[in-house]
Amino acid sequence: MTKRRLAIPALALAALLGALLLDRADAWAQGLVADLSDHFVAITAGFTGTDVLLFGAVDEVGDIAVVVRGPERNVVVRRKDRFVGVWANSDELTFESVPTFYAIAANRPLGNLAPRPVLERNQIGLRNIRFNAIEADVTEVEKARFVDAFIRLQKKQRLYSDDLGSVTFMTGKLFRTRLVFPSNVPVGVYSVQVFLIRDGEVLSAQTSPLNIDRTGIGAEVYLFAHRHAAAYGALAILSALVAGWIGGQVFKRR
């Protein structure tokens, strides 16, 4: 299914773009239009991750950086230390409102796109995400260690990624990239930012929302478990009793 979606013929893409350009005539003033193949990702019972196609056009040649940010949460990062021979969590740092998902894609390495301050201001690139620690008494060196660890762990879970070079220009002005969401993607409202960069300056930026949510039976179970926790617990017990009884009957010694 993913493959098929990626193999959208150029014609169809052009038609989509045409419709998009008519629809967003005002956007041309900024020199950039872009949109997603889907604005909603449904997590169903068989969800194994998905791809969303981002495509767009620029009015003049420039560089494109795409930033996908997931819902923001407070995240505790803990470090283990040895106590009497056993490794146990000891120091911790809580980052306030950090994106639980972050992906950066661009048509070439970030260093060639724009100077560091520009990238930092727009939080383009894993190293330019702003991290605010709730604990005030932490040194910069120590904080940097926790930030490194956080990014490393998120990358390991495929929730943070920097796939530079993955934005491709098809002609001089049409571009596209594939946004990859793994099966463990957090649910919530995502923002997809597209930056048009020329001569080291951000000329224009456009943000599209992307909603990732559970649907179907899985969603029902999750909502029920959270909204009616006591009833869920009682039902879980009841179903265990019934299932256990049936299991015992089916395989009763003959």
Q: Between 126 and 167, name the residue whose CB sits nearer to another protein.
A: 126
Q: Which of 3, 199, 230, 254 binds another protein (CB under 8 A)?
A: 230
φ, ψ for residue 117, nearest 5 deg: -60, -35
Of 99, 169, 162, 88, the residue nearest 131 (C-alpha): 99
Q: Which of 121, 129, 117 is nearest to 72 (CA)?
A: 129
Q: Which of 6, 19, 76, 170 binds another protein (CB under 8 A)?
A: 76
- Nearest approach, Cβ of 143 to another protein (angstroms)? 13
Instruction: For the CB of residue 156, give the shortest distance to another protein in the complex, in Å.
Output: 8
Based on the shown chain and the rule CB under 8 A, indicate whether residue 243 belongs to the binding site for another protein.
yes
Contact between 36 and 103 (Cβ < 8 Å): no
State the nearest-atom distance from the C-beta of 237 to another protein, in Å.
5
Give the β-pairing of 40-43 and 201-214.
Answer: parallel
Window 14 to 53, contacts with another protein (CB under 8 A): 43-48
Strands (E) across 116-184 are located at: 132-133, 160-164, 168-169, 174-181
| C-alpha dist (Å) from residue 175 to 8, 17, 18, 152, 164 | 14, 11, 14, 29, 14
Per CB under 8 A, the list member of 153, 172, 200, 209 interacting with another protein is: 153
Q: Which residues bind another protein (CB under 8 A)?
A: 43-48, 71, 73-81, 85-89, 92, 94, 100, 146, 149-150, 152-154, 156, 183-184, 186-188, 214, 217-219, 221-222, 225-226, 229-230, 232-237, 239-241, 243-245, 247-248, 250-253
